[in-house]
Amino acid sequence: MTDLASTRERALAALREQTIELPSWAFGNSGTRFKVFGTPGTPRDPFEKISDAAQVHAFTGVAPRVSLHIPWDLVDDYEKLAAHAADSGVAIGMINSNLFQDDAYKFGSLTHPDAQVRAKAVAHHAQCVDVMRATGSKELKLWLPDGTNYPGQDDLRDRQERLADSLQQIYALLDEDHRLVLEYKFFEPAFYHTDIPDWGTSLLHCLALGERAKVVLDTGHHAPGTNIEFIVVQLLRAGRLGAFDFNSRFYADDDLMAGAADPFQLFRIVYEIVRSNALAPQPWDPAGSGVNFMLDQCHNVEEKIPGQIRSVTNIQQATAKALLVDREALTAAQRAGDVLGANDVLMDAYSTDVRPLLAELRESMGLDPDPMAAFKASGYAARIAAERVGGRQAGWGA
Ligand code: LRH
Ligand code: MN
Ligand code: MN
């Protein structure tokens, strides 16, 4: 048995170092295909989205980066945007390209049969790399909507060859200290086949590209019942888990708050990260095994800044529980073939109420122990609702 006091101290130290990246689009309005509800105070531009994201960091202390989506976050001057982020206490994180909102991409983007369309999709990434240079971002994130709806609609193999070629052109655009992270998703918007449906396909393309290409695991992008923690283990073993897009799903790609649908699954995922010593932010090495823990969420009916705070604290709770697993006792039970004993060790940690530990952590960081209550008491929400009148509210896609 490991000494409980030292496990607690180690957990506090690890939690102090953990960082979670926020998506700019979580602060804009979003919705389903039925309705996008407006919210008072919603940001009108990328500057205001960053100001809101900075609030999440101010109250949680562990969300120091904001990821941008181009062209949703189009501005004239990216150096000015990065300076605004720095003034607000955060930095620009990953740059997400967008290949899913242009008429040209009806039959695909990087896989399109027409070389001109593929060239347009590659050129968009040159624009994204320019944004990276201007903002200091080091990671280019790609997710493709490409796929087909009917058997025979296009040649599956040709599409893979075209994809490999387009990805190589994009990889060649990167600077030495940049990396490319490639996301997969099993279906949607295409329904018969998707060109990067799973981690295996993403990994094969990354291996072909080079060591600065890594896989992105969006927790909402799997079929029900998929053992996601097993995928985490495999990608960590290969040194190719670049980033998470954390969110919750009940049905499909629901983009709900991380830890809301299945906190036990989140715990199991984070335990494998802790088990592989992959939790702490690594010194920047584009070829290295550092994992970027990002949220990819939309808040359709709940308040957005509190929705992000809740997601961050849910991940912290899962992490704290994972750090409390008595690894020595677990290994001993596993080696002894003690099935129930091993399961007990894991469940003991999962059943621990870690809220007091997290309150202690925040106090040690000079923060309010209850970030949600502190944000509510700050009056920020009322202030932006009064200030941000006029102009068009930014949304998912604007
Ligand atoms: C696709 C996705 C991808 C996009 C984001 C807005 O479903 O997960 O990461 O960039 O949603
Ligand atoms: Mn995603
Ligand atoms: Mn998604």
Q: How far apart are CA 285 and CA 283, in angstroms?
A: 6
Residue 1 pLDDT: 61
Cα 217 to averaged position of ligand 1 atoms, centre (Å): 11
Cα 249 to averaged position of ligand 3 atoms, centre (Å): 10
> What residue type is 393 in one-letter code?
Q
User: Are the CB atoms for 361 and 16 separated by under 8 Å?
Assistant: yes
Q: Does the C-beta of 185 come closer than 6 Å to ligand 1?
A: yes
Number of domains in the chain: 1
Q: Does the C-beta of 255 come closer than 6 Å to ligand 1?
A: no
Q: Does the C-beta of 218 come closer than 6 Å to ligand 1?
A: yes
Q: Does the C-beta of 253 come closer than 6 Å to ligand 1?
A: yes
384 in any annotated domain:
no
Best residue among 24, 49, 68, 245 to mutate for probing ligand 1's pocket (most ligand atoms within 8 Å of CB) is: 245
Residue 32 pLDDT: 85
Q: Does the C-beta of 195 come closer than 6 Å to ligand 1?
A: no
Q: How far apart are CA 115 and CA 159, in angstroms?
A: 12
Residue 111 pLDDT: 99
1 in any annotated domain:
no
Q: Does the C-beta of 245 come closer than 6 Å to ligand 1?
A: yes
Residue 149 pLDDT: 98
Q: Which residues are CB-neighbours of 379 under 8 A, at least 6 positions away? A: none
Ligand 1 atom nearest to CA at 98 = 10
**Considering only CA atoms, which residue is closest to atom 3 of ligand 1?**
143
Closest-approaching ligand to the CA atom of 218: 2
Q: How large is the C-alpha radius of gyration of the chain?
A: 21
Ligand 1 atom nearest to CA at 396 = 6
341 in any annotated domain:
no
Q: Does the C-beta of 183 come closer than 6 Å to ligand 1?
A: yes
200 in any annotated domain:
yes
Residue from 386, 380, 387 nearest 58 by CA? 380
54 in any annotated domain:
yes
CATH number assigned to the domain comprising residue 287: 3.20.20.150
Best residue among 183, 186, 187, 247 to mutate for probing ligand 1's pocket (most ligand atoms within 8 Å of CB) is: 183
Sign of CA dihedral 59, 61, 63, 65: positive
**Considering only CA atoms, which residue is closest to atom 7 of ligand 1?**
253
Closest-approaching ligand to the CA atom of 100: 1
Q: Which residues are CB-neighbours of 203 under 8 A, at least 6 positions away? A: 215, 235, 238, 240
Prior bond of 263 cis (ω within 30°): no
**Three-class SS of the chain:** CCCHHHHHHHHHHHHHHCCCEEEHHHCCECECCCCECCCCCCCCCHHHHHHHHHHHHHHHCCCCEEEEECCCCCCCCHHHHHHHHHHCCCEEEEEECCCCCCHHHCCCCCCCCCHHHHHHHHHHHHHHHHHHHHHCCCEEEECCCCEECCCCCCCHHHHHHHHHHHHHHHHHHCCCCCEEEEECCCCCCCCCEECCCCHHHHHHHHHHHCCCEEEEEECCCCCCCCCHHHHHHHHHHCCCEEEEEECECCCCCCCECCCCCCHHHHHHHHHHHHHCCCCCCCCCCCCCCCCEEEECCCCCCCCHHHHHHHHHHHHHHHHHHHHCCCHHHHHHHHHCCCHHHHHHHHHHHHHCCCHHHHHHHHHHCCCCCCHHHHHHHHCHHHHHHHHCCCCCCCECCC
Residue pLDDT tens, the chain, 398 long: 678 789 999 999 999 999 999 999 999 998 888 899 988 999 999 999 999 999 999 999 999 999 999 999 999 999 999 999 999 999 999 999 999 999 999 999 999 999 999 999 999 999 999 999 999 999 999 999 999 999 999 999 999 999 999 999 999 999 999 999 999 999 999 999 999 999 999 999 999 999 999 999 999 999 999 999 999 999 999 999 999 999 999 999 999 999 999 999 999 999 999 999 999 998 999 999 999 999 999 999 999 999 999 999 999 999 999 999 999 999 999 999 999 999 999 999 999 999 999 999 999 999 999 999 999 999 999 999 999 997 778 887 76
Residue 321 pLDDT: 98
Q: How far apart are CA 213 and CA 142, in angstroms?
A: 11
Q: How far apart are CA 162 and CA 314, in angstroms?
A: 40
396 in any annotated domain:
no
Q: How far apart are CA 93 and CA 138, in angstroms?
A: 7
Residue 235 pLDDT: 98
383 in any annotated domain:
no
Best residue among 70, 296, 298, 396 to mutate for probing ligand 1's pocket (most ligand atoms within 8 Å of CB) is: 296
ipTM, two decimals, is 0.99
394 in any annotated domain:
no
Cα 70 to averaged position of ligand 2 atoms, centre (Å): 14
Cα 159 to averaged position of ligand 3 atoms, centre (Å): 22
- Domain coverage including residue 60: 19-324
Q: How far apart are CA 239 and CA 327, in angstroms?
A: 22
Ligand 1 atom nearest to CA at 69 = 10
